């Protein structure tokens, strides 16, 4: 059975208010995430696929950080918008995020790719909402744990000294 998420419209104020409340955001934050993720698409470097993606993060202290996809002639070397945004935020010292937004130019709201889901997992709580906007402002919201069930995160790694002792003991 196929999963069909509920689709909302940023132009529908009551939907935006209800969605914001459900995910611990304000309607202003949802609109700002949409605006900034959509604007970030304009900075995408995608001469090969022409598939523009913008992403914006909202930190716990109210800072917004945007990023866009950056392609490369050697296709696997490209970087997705979400990873660009997180790289920028982390290197600027921003920690703790309350929402992630992604915007594309296509009909259906697009979710982060598998690599980005795992990358996002490093920096956010599993309850963090991921807002996925299409070209017209329609969007789907899912928590990271819904996009990445049974995820592997930093808390699963033993401390480095435990790993060293384990290796030294031949375990």
| Residue 116 assigned as binding residue | yes
| Residue 80 assigned as binding residue | yes
Given the residues 82, 92, 155, 164, the one annotated as active site: 82
| Residue 75 assigned as binding residue | yes
| Residue 69 assigned as binding residue | yes
Distances (CA, A) of 135 to 16, 70, 89: 17, 19, 25
| Residue 49 assigned as binding residue | no
| Residue 110 assigned as binding residue | no
Q: Is 122 a catalytic residue?
A: no
- SS3 for the chain is CCCCCCCEECCCHHHHHHHHHHCCCCHHHHHHHHHHHHHHHHHCECCCCCCCEEEEEEECCCCEEEEECECCCCHHHCECHHHHHHHHHHHCCCCCEEEEEEEECCCCCCCCCHHHHHHHHCCCCCCCEEEEECCCCEEEEEEHHHHCCCCCCHHHCCCHHHHHHHHHCCC
| Residue 46 assigned as binding residue | no
| Residue 164 assigned as binding residue | no
Q: Binding-site residues for Zn(2+), please? A: 80, 113, 116
Q: Binding-site residues, please? A: 69-75, 80, 113, 116
Q: Binding-site residues for substrate, please? A: 69-75
What residues are labeled active site? 82
């Amino acid at each position: 059975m196929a999963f069909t998420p509920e689709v909302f419209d940023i132009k529908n104020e009551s939907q935006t208010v209800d969605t914001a409340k459900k995910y611990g955001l304000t309607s202003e934050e949802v609109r700002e995430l949409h605006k900034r993720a959509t604007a970030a698409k304009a900075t995408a470097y995608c001469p090969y696929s022409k598939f523009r993606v913008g992403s914006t993060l909202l930190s716990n202290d109210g800072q917004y950080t945007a990023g866009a996809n950056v392609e490369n002639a050697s296709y696997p070397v490209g970087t997705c918008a979400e990873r660009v945004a997180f790289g920028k935020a982390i290197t600027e010292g921003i920690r703790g995020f309350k929402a992630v937004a992604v915007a594309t130019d296509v009909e259906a709201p697009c979710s982060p790719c598998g690599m980005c889901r795992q990358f996002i997992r490093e920096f956010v709580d599993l309850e963090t909402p991921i807002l996925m906007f299409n070209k017209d402002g329609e969007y789907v919201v899912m928590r990271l744990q819904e996009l990445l069930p049974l995820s592997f995160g930093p808390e699963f790694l033993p401390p480095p000294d435990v790993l060293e002792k384990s290796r030294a003991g031949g375990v």
